[in-house]
Structure formats: C-alpha cells, structure tokens
Structure 1
Amino acid sequence: MHRMSDMEDYTHYLNDKISSLKHMLELSVDVKTGNMIGRIAQDVDTVAGVLDEFEKLVAKEKVLLTRLKEMEMFFQNELKDGRHLQDNIPEHMPRKKEPEVSEPPPCQKGPVEQQPAKQENIKKPTKRPIKEMEVITMPEYDGIPAYMKGRITYGQLNATVQIINTAVMGKYKILRQPVKNLNNHERQLQQRFKEAETKDTKGNFFVVENDLCEFGQMKMDKRFQGILSMLRHCQRLREVRGQGLTRYMLL
C-alpha cells in the first residue's frame, strides 16, 4: 500500500510540474529577462530526477510482482500435491482407528442387590497380541538393490506384506481357540500348526507355504521368492528350515 501511495504522489507531482512548465513557456514569449528561462531549467532538472525515481519504483514493483507470481505458483503446486496425496492414500498404510464409545449402563429401579466382593490380587493370564509385519517404507524400498527388486513395485511388495499378515492372523486365531469351539477342518489345521512348531520358533509368530495358500491364496512362484528376498533384506522376516518345511518367522 505504501508503494502504491508513493507512485500516486510521484504521478501528481509530475503532472503539476508539467502544467507549470507549459504555463512558463507560454509566458516566456513576452518576458525579455533570463530569470524565467533559468527557473524553467531548474524545473526540468527536478522533473528529470523525479522520473528517475519513478522508473526505479516501477522496476521494484516488477520484481515484486514476479516474486509474488512465483510464490502463487509454488503454493498452487503444493496444494495440488496435497490433494493428490489425500485422494490416493495407499491401502496398506495404517489408518487411525476411531475410539470405541461405550454406552452407559441402563438405570436400575428398585433395590440394588449387593454384588459379591471381587477377589483381589488374582491375575488372569494375558495372551500376547498377534504380531503383524510392518509395511515397508519408501526409503526402505529405495534402499533395496535394483537386482533384487526387479520389476516388483512398492505397492506389490506391501500387498504381499498384507497377505502374510492375513495368514498370520488366521493361523494364530485358530491356534488360540479351544478345540471344542472348532469345526473338523479347523481342528485339522490346528493340529498341523502345532506339528510345524520347533524349539527355534517357540514364542515367535511364523507361517509356512501351506498357511499362505490357506489364508492368503498366495502363489509360491519365482516372483514370491523374490519378494521374500526383499523382506529379508528389510529385516521383516527370517527363514527357519527343518523337517521338510520352510518357516517364515516375523521379526
């Protein structure tokens, strides 16, 4: 606002000086002394100086306008990128879970029965949460050697991570169920899961090829072997062999 005000002041000043010069030139025809000519010369010099300042102000305004356009373009690109990211969030990225809202207990009418006192200092055994493999980050993917990645994309790699997690969850949910709660097929699976365990896998979560086929419908082809090499490189799993089985143990 100050710059625009300065430019307006210069414009009014120049207009006043130009009008004054025209008037003096008209009067100089009838004046024989040199005083009027000297005054005109001084005004011309003043106007010339003002013009120089005006040109400097115009040049500054042009530079400022160019910078503002560059900033506008920058923020437009940032806004476009942000909207693209918002509309294209990868499915494998973890999402914030909404907190569960518990309903208040209904009001009770009539006499309240005395509840038996709870026994204290009785700890129920708690089960460890089923471990899931963390998704591969973009810096980790970029750090995988090119010969190991081949044509496997970032999305394909994390899609396999999700399949492995699905197999792990399905397997250990059955393992933790009482036998009486399982159907015949699930009982056979539970027995197979237990037979695949060894002292090296004790306390860890792992799957074998049959588990991946059962729960994830995964094809055990050359491409899958390449993805396993990438996951080992990123320290997401390690292989434990024995008894004719390859166990993929989560780290």
Structure 2
Amino acid sequence: MCIRWAENTHVMVNAMASSSLEDLCLYISLKISNIKKFILLRDLGKDDCLKHFLRKVYNEGILIHELLQAMEIQVKKQEELKKSLREIQKAAESAQREAWHLLQHVPRYLPKPLQVCNVESTVKHEEETKAVEPKCEKKPAKERAIKEVALITTEEFENVPAYMKGRITYDQINAVVEEINKAVVGKYKILYQPLRSMSAPVRNLYHRFIEEETKDTNGVFFIVEDDIKEFTKLKLDKRFYVMLSILRHCQRLREIRSSGLVRYGIC
C-alpha cells in the first residue's frame, strides 16, 4: 500500500512538473472518478435497482464462457484435422516416391496381350492369256486369336530357385519367351490358312501339325522342338532346356508326352 502510494505520488509529481494546471486537474478528476466507481461496485449487490444490471452481466459472462468452450472444441477439431492432413500428405508423398521409383525402373519386358492373327486367304492367279472373269467379293476371314506365352515378371524371376536359374538373367529368359512365341504364331498362322492357298512345303508342315495333335492337346496351343527349329534360331542346348524348366516352374509351359514326342503346351 505504501509502495503504491509512493508510486502515485511520484506520478503526480512528474505530472505537475511536466503538465499544465488544467492537465493536473484532469488527472485528479479521473482518479476521483475511478474511486467513485470502485465504491459503487462495492455496494452493487446491495442496491435493488442495480441487481438487474448485475444479473445481466452474469448472464453475459455465462454466454462468453460457453462461447469459449465451443471455440475450444473447434480448435481441437482443427488440430485433429491438421494431424489427419499431415498423415495424408505423408502417404501421398510416399506414393509419389514409389510411383517415381516405378517410372525409373520399368521392366524391359512386359506381358503382351494375345496376338490376333488376321488370316487372309490367297488365291492363285490364272494365266495372263486367259480373260479375267468377274468374281464375287469374298467375305474377309474371321480373326482368330493365337495364345502366346506371357513374359516373366521380375517378381516371378526373383522367386525362381537359385539352383535353377544359375547364371541366366531376366532378359535372357524373356528373350527365349519371345522366340517361343514366334514359333507359336508361325505354326498357328499355317493351321489357320486354307489348304488351297498353301505351297507344298507349307502343306507338309500343316500335315505334321495335324499328326502331332492328340486328345490331350484338344483346345491347347502347343509346339514341339521341330517348330522351334523351323521358326526360330534358338539352339536346343543344355542352357535352353534349363530355361524351359524355369518356364514350367513359372507355369508358362507344361509338357504333354505321348508317342515318344514331347509337346510344350501354353499355360
């Protein structure tokens, strides 16, 4: 109390030193007014005419309190939303990094859709000396699908046992798959041709293909070693048969044996 009185006295002295008489009177009047307000507030609860005002102030205080509680709830919700957004941002950044990694490491070989072979029938021309007779337009041949061997994925190749792979690489095994597909397409293009459009060597191949079919190959696309020799430049050595084992392991080929002949069916 003494300290506050001393401070007030110090302020008054400074005010008197730096202000005019009017400023000093204004300062003293303000202090007297504050003292009166304090006295009124002290007896506010005892005065019946001011109880209504006090009750109104109390109600306003309750409303302010409720508003602050509602604001606190909203702040918590916003904090939770902010936390969720941060988690979503982290997941999106992680997905972006994975996508970028995949883009930078696209496998050289990707599985191809079934090749659709459009078989066009060829008709031998008559001798130039004969007159050209009008012919009816022929309907285009129906497209027939040829099932090919699906390429090996990197994940499948990594799961092949090491003793089976040896030094064979991912690119090498898929290069063999592409060569096998050449043999498959070459064989079935001939099978889908009309006999009358075939030359003598092609007709011989056609008859061999037919003879190699059995009840076990019904509805199965398959080739034999002679087809690989006919349509590809692959060497049927020990390394080639190791690759065939890998393709069987990955369920790309299956063996169909009968009459001393091994047929490689496309899975």
- Equivalence map 1:110-189=2 (5 Å): 128-189=144-205
**1:243 matches 2:247:** no
- Tell me which structure has the larger Cα radius of gyration: 2
Of 104, 107, 110 in structure 2, the residue corresponding to residue 93 of structure 1 is: 110
- Cα distance change of structure 1 residues 196 and 127 upon mapping to structure 2, 3 Å threshold: farther
The answer on whether the counterparts of 2:220 and 2:265 sit within 8 Å (CA) in structure 1 is: yes
Q: Hey, what's the Cα distance between the residues in 2 that align with 1:79 and 1:205?
A: 37
- Cα distance change of structure 1 residues 222 and 177 upon mapping to structure 2, 3 Å threshold: same
Structure 1, unpaired ranges of 5+: 1-76, 97-123
Q: Hey, what's the Cα distance between the residues in 1 that align with 2:185 and 2:255?
A: 19
Q: Taking every aligned residue pair, what percent have the same amino acid on both sides?
A: 51
Aligned positions, number: 146
Q: Secondary structure at the match of 1:248?
A: strand
CA deviation after TM superposition for structure 1 residue 163, in Å: 0.7
Task: Provide the residue aligned with 2:236 in structure 1.
Answer: 220
After TM superposition, the score normalised by the length of structure 2 is: 0.49
Alignment RMSD, CA only? Answer: 2.8
The answer on whether the counterparts of 2:111 and 2:150 sit within 8 Å (CA) in structure 1 is: no
Of 230, 233, 243 in structure 1, the residue corresponding to residue 249 of structure 2 is: 233
User: Which runs of 4 or more aligned residues in structure 1 lie more than 2 Å from their structure 2 counterparts after TM superposition?
Assistant: 77-86, 92-96, 124-128
Task: Provide the residue aligned with 1:42 in structure 2.
Answer: none
Q: Hey, what's the Cα distance between the residues in 2 that align with 1:81 and 1:152?
A: 25
Code of the residue aligned with 1:172 in structure 2: it is Y
Structure 2, unpaired ranges of 5+: 1-96, 114-139
After TM superposition, the score normalised by the length of structure 1 is: 0.52
CA deviation after TM superposition for structure 1 residue 244, in Å: 2.1
The answer on whether the counterparts of 2:112 and 2:151 sit within 8 Å (CA) in structure 1 is: no
Q: Hey, what's the Cα distance between the residues in 1 that align with 2:226 and 2:219?
A: 20
Q: Hey, what's the Cα distance between the residues in 2 that align with 1:237 and 1:155?
A: 18
Once the two structures are superposed, residues 100-144 of structure 1 have per-residue CA deviations (whole angstroms, 9 ceiling, x without a partner) of: xxxxxxxxxxxxxxxxxxxxxxxx996651101111001100110
Q: Hey, what's the Cα distance between the residues in 2 that align with 1:85 and 1:214?
A: 36
